[in-house]
Chains A and B, each alone.
Chain A
Amino acid sequence: EPEVTQTPSHQVTQMGQEVILRCVPISNHLYFYWYRQILGQKVEFLVSFYNNEISEKSEIFDDQFSVERPDGSNFTLKIRSTKLEDSAMYFCASSPGGSGRVSYNEQFFGPGTRLTVL
């Protein structure tokens, strides 16, 4: 069964460093998302991406964040200058899109990348 994959599973970085979190969405999916979950808290939306551009972003997604789909298979989240409060689990998700299919708006989640900022 196709699944969303994310690398690395755990990333440790120093405050102020740049990190890139990588995701491989399910093939042929059209919508891509990043969410984060700070330890013990709820899952929060960061950004959605469709047709090679950001379709929606939250107030969390400020100028230090960026997303890219560099090669048609990977979907990356970059944090330019990490802060202590960026420590969280980051989830990538993808959705089939299209019309006429039962599960077209269902979001499939990857296993997450745990980011620890020291």
Chain B
Amino acid sequence: AQSVTQLGSHVSVSEGALVLLRCNYSSSVPPYLFWYVQYPNQGLQLLLKYTSAATLVKGINDFEAEFKKSETSFHLTKPSAHMSDAAEYFCAVSKGFQKLVFGTGTRLLVSP
């Protein structure tokens, strides 16, 4: 069975600081990996995805993630946090068109 683990339910950074949100996955087959963002009282918006092409994936709003098979990781980074980045971030894994399996989420807090 596929699963993802997100370390840290809350991450706090200062505006302008590096953002690092951690995600480790478990999959018996090459996975498709995704990061979604959820702003308060809104739906899920795709930030970026890994689908077995380049291991370094760039997404919207300067976010990027690197697929590391040896570490079974897909951590999300952003060089410089902005106040508008405060939200809940979900890592997810799937096989092809099958269900997305989500992690428990990480709430990013950005202070001025």
Contact = CB atoms under 8 A, between A and B. Distances in A.
A105 B44 contact: no
A18 interface: no
Nearest to A95: B97
Interface residues of A: mostly helix, strand, loop or mixed? strand
Q: Which of A31, A42, A106, A110 has most chain B Cβ within 10 Å?
A: A42
Interface string A35-54: 10000011111001010000
Size category, A interface:
20 to 34
Interface in A29-77: 31, 33, 35, 41-45, 48, 50, 55-56, 58
Chain B interface size band reads 20 to 34
A48 B45 CA distance: 19
A31 B94 CA distance: 14
Interface string A72-98: 000000000000000000010101010
Contacts of A56: 98-99
B97 A42 contact: no
B43 A31 contact: no
B97 A35 contact: no
Contact of A45 (B44, B45, B46, B101): B101
Given A56-B99, A97-B97, A109-B43, 20 more contacts: A33-B100, A42-B104, A42-B105, A43-B92, A45-B99, A48-B97, A48-B99, A58-B99, A93-B100, A102-B51, A105-B51, A105-B94, A106-B46, A107-B46, A108-B46, A109-B36, A110-B43, A111-B42, A111-B43, A112-B42
Interface of B: 32, 34, 36, 42-46, 49, 51, 90, 92, 94, 96-105
